[in-house]
Amino acid sequence: MQALVLLSGGLDSTTVAAHAVREGHEVRAISIAYGQRHLRELASARAVAQALDIPLLEADASFYAKIAAHSALTSLEQHPLPEHRPTAEMSADIPITYVPLRNTFFVTVAAAALESWLLSLIEEDGRDPKSLAGAVYVGANAIDYSGYPDCRPEFYEALERVLHLGSKVGTAYGIPLRIEAPIIEMSKAEIVRHAVEVGAPLEHTWSCYAGGDHPCGSCDSCLLRAAGFAEAGIADPALAPR
């Protein structure tokens, strides 16, 4: 199967990328610069892709920050990052770190790259459509998530249907564009354990929402990551001295 991984360079997407490689798929990855405050994650995506030996397409969508401006991740001065929040508070509502329709946009961009890949195999290389299958792999998680509506299984089920109806490979060649979210129902501790199991290069990952050189340790993403490693009983290799 042709697998296109949405790779942010974080714990979740890196685990999913390693998972797709371990499954034996033909894997490519895409990372998207959307004007996020934590551009540091893009360097991690490059390092992860290199460690997993998979091609990485880097897409410049920096215009998106102006479009999806009502977020602490895209409007640094207007919306400060939430800090030191207990887990119960994180999931009580949709936080200001939610970027309007980001995952809808991301998956659509990744699906376009995947469809182009499949179409080139069919229409340029002469591959039989019946021998092909395509999937966008996402690191969405609906258990230890921060209240994001676009991390739920029902969102991806609906979006998968849209991609099939709106794509040439789906309508002309009968190839469904699937969305695979293998960690969507795992706890953060289960994700950490699975990452180790599939050989994810966790030492290269970056989860912090802040834009510094080192993880802040106080944003929602840092706190969820730390809790996951602690519960799994595994030291976070990204924090080890180098």
**pLDDT tens for each residue of 172-210:** 999 999 999 999 999 999 999 999 999 999 999 999 999
What pLDDT does residue 93 have? Answer: 85
Phi (first) and psi of residue 33, to 5 degrees: -90, 110
Residue among 30, 113, 32 nearest 68 (CA): 32
From first CA to last CA, the distance across the chain in angstroms is 37
The larger pLDDT score, comparing residue 77 to residue 194, is at: 194
Of the ranges 38-52, 135-149, 209-223, the best mean pLDDT one: 38-52
Give the C-alpha distances (Å, rounded to integers) separating 20 from 5, 16, 98, 182, 200.
Answer: 8, 6, 26, 9, 11
What pLDDT does residue 135 have? Answer: 98
Could you give the CA distance from residue 40 to residue 212 in angstroms, rounded to a whole number?
Answer: 8
Q: Any idea which fold 2-239 has?
A: Rossmann fold (3.40.50)
Give the C-alpha distances (Å, rounded to integers) separating 124 from 104, 116, 177.
Answer: 29, 11, 19
Per-residue confidence band for 242, with pLDDT thresholds at 50, 70 and 90: low
Of 75-84, 107-116, 117-126, least confident by mean pLDDT is 75-84
- Predicted confidence (pLDDT) at residue 69 exceeds the cutoff of 80: yes
Percent of the chain with pLDDT over 90: 87
- Predicted confidence (pLDDT) at residue 165 exceeds the cutoff of 70: yes
Could you give the CA distance from residue 210 to residue 76 in angstroms, rounded to a whole number?
Answer: 10
Of 33-42, 88-97, 116-125, least confident by mean pLDDT is 88-97
